Structure 1
Amino acid sequence: MRATPSCVHPVERREWRELNTTTKRDYINAVICLAAKESLFEHGSSRYDDFAYMHVFEGTVTHYAASFLPWHRYFIHTYEKALKEECGFQGSLPYWDWALDAHDLVASPIFDPIDGFGGNGTSGNSEPGIFGGHCLTEGPFANATRHWQSKSNGHGFDILKNPHCLSRGFQAGEKKSKLEDRVTTDAINSMLSIPTYEKFVDVLEVQAYNSIPQFVRGDFYGLTAPNGKIAV
């Protein structure tokens, strides 16, 4: 019987607010570094843009499919590897525990303008073609340019070259409250109790997973979600 390889040096991913200020800024600086490096695929775009491109390119077959979780685990592993090997990041990829902020997603420290990823886009400074998007003008990624946009063609998604400002457009009102209800501790625990993988992954993607892009909107909405520069 073939032995199963053991995981000798597992990486521990920590929630954003568990990181000290130095580690947060080291991570943000590594992301900025990756966005300053030349793309492997497209002249004029960046290594950071490569990940948005690949998410669109593979996304039509890795969403609403059995491969949803393992593919995304490999995707973020590859991203973490690039941050470490190309930009000298010494930590591990952080994550955002949505349930901690389900009472008010806007108030999350994730959106802190200094020790986070910046907040909402600037009202009135809209980005045509990016769903609900307004240019981000505060925080470490203020006035950043992203290269790719995804657009539905009726049976899948096309990848469009569209250099544009990094944009967000936070959802508000009753819609925001409904999205927050999907990421409460009770909602997550209910989802985790689902007995079959098929049903679990379907509920995960339709409910909790999709709620955050539908709240943030802008670049984070759609298959170019990696444009959004938010730890998830």
Structure 2
Amino acid sequence: MTHVRRNQRSLSRAERRRFVDAVLKLKRRGEYDEFVRTHIDFYVSDGDDRLRVAHMTPSFFPWHRRFLLEFERALRRVDPAVTVPYWDWTKDRGRGGTLWGADLMGGNGRRGDRQVMTGPFAYRNGHWTIKEDVTDGEFLTRDFGRPQDPIDLPTARDVAWAMDDPRYDVPPWDSTAPEGFRNKLEGWTSARGKERWRNHNRVHRWVGGHMLGGASVNDPVFWLNHAFVDLLWDRWQRRHPRSARYLPERPPEPGQRQYRRIVARHEPMPPWDAGPDELLDHEGLYAYGD
């Protein structure tokens, strides 16, 4: 039966509590940290001479769709009424509201060490110890807006810039792709300074702390960000039905720059056997609501 992912601001107090409780239970079981480790292992950049499936690659959208599904299925094994909510950062752009409330994500990190002190994922509450990371430290960190070099959340105009591009992706199929919806929404550009980061990438940098880099899953807001990214992919497909197919269709050949570094439409995306073609729509799995 299809379930509905809803905007986080439309959740009732009871629904927020059930979502948080399910996340904390996965953490107690050790399952949550397995998701963190998976993302760290598959956070591969352009400069690494190996397969990229999660970032800086055409499979950014289908890989994270499957990743979200696996997490949501784990949550629903705990509580079948729970789904992953999404965060529309083009509208919920401040530090207030329900998203950063004490009964959902908690607030910003404090000055100095950027430790999150409020909410269910604050280390001092005893339920959220960072165990899988690329650096030392047991507490969740955030640095909203990067005060030392301020950055804003993406706007509706930023999203429209990506949504208006009818091409899914273009060569060279990485973070330097000059056009294409995938790279524009993932958010890599050739600009300098803070303008380098757009859309998805800019959200990670606005939240800061653990949301920077491969260990970003340590911050549960990761899932709400990627649920919205998944929703935007769905909207783009509906807007451009004639060109919504995944690219590249065929794998790069020997001697080409991306040979064995990206996956074509029918090739499997590790750590699963599923290829991008199996994740091109979510009909029958879940729907999005307000």
- TM-superposed deviation, 1:190: 2.4
Query: How far has the Cα of 1:196 moved from its partner?
Result: 0.4
Show the 5 A alignment for 1:144-183.
144-150=128-134, 162=136, 164-173=138-147, 175-176=149-150, 178-180=151-153, 183=154
Q: Aligned AA for 2:61?
A: L
Q: Secondary structure of the residue that 1:12 maps to in structure 2?
A: strand
Match of 2:95 in 1: 106
Match in the other structure for 2:120: 140
Distance change in 2, residues 1:108/1:200 (3 Å): farther
Residues 19 and 90 from structure 1, CA distance in 2 versus in 1: closer, same or farther, beyond 3 angstroms? same
**Runs of at least 5 residues in structure 1 that lack an aligned partner in the other structure:** 1-8, 38-45, 127-133, 151-159
Cα 1:221/1:89, change in 2 over 3 Å? farther
Aligned partners of 1:209, 1:108: CA distance in 2, in Å?
A: 21
Letter in 1 for 2:159: I
As a proportion of its length, which structure holds more helix? Answer: 1
Cα 1:179–1:48, aligned 2, differ >3 Å: closer, same or farther? Answer: same
Contact (CA 8 Å) 1:145, 1:166: kept in 2 or not? yes
Gaps of 5+ in 2: 45-51, 170-179, 188-197, 226-290
TM-score norm. by structure 1 comes to 0.77
TM-score, scaled relative to structure 2: 0.62
Partner of 1:229: 220
Distance 1:204 1:175, change over 3 A: farther
Q: What pairs up with 1:13-28 in 2 under 5 angstroms?
A: 13-28=5-20
Deviation at 1:205, TM superposition (A): 1.0
Match status 1:52 vs 2:20: no
Partner Cα distance (1:142, 1:173) in 2: 21
Deviation at 1:59, TM superposition (A): 2.2
2:184 to 199, 203, 222: 203
Q: Report the CA distance between 1:175 and its aligned residue.
A: 4.6
Q: Matched residues, percent identical? A: 28
C-alpha distance in 2 between matches for 1:163 and 1:186: 37
Amino acid at match of 1:187: D
Give the aligned partner of residue 118 of structure 1: 106
Cα deviation, residue 30, structure 1: 0.5
**1:28-107 residue pairs with structure 2 within 5 A?**
28-37=20-29, 46-60=30-44, 61=52, 62-85=54-77, 87-102=78-93, 105-107=94-96
Q: Name the aligned partner's letter for residue 20 of structure 1.
A: S
Is 1:217 aligned to residue 208 of structure 2? yes
Give the number of the structure whose residues are more often strand, by fraction: 1
Q: Deviations over 1:182-209 (max 9, x none)?
A: x212221221111101111111112100
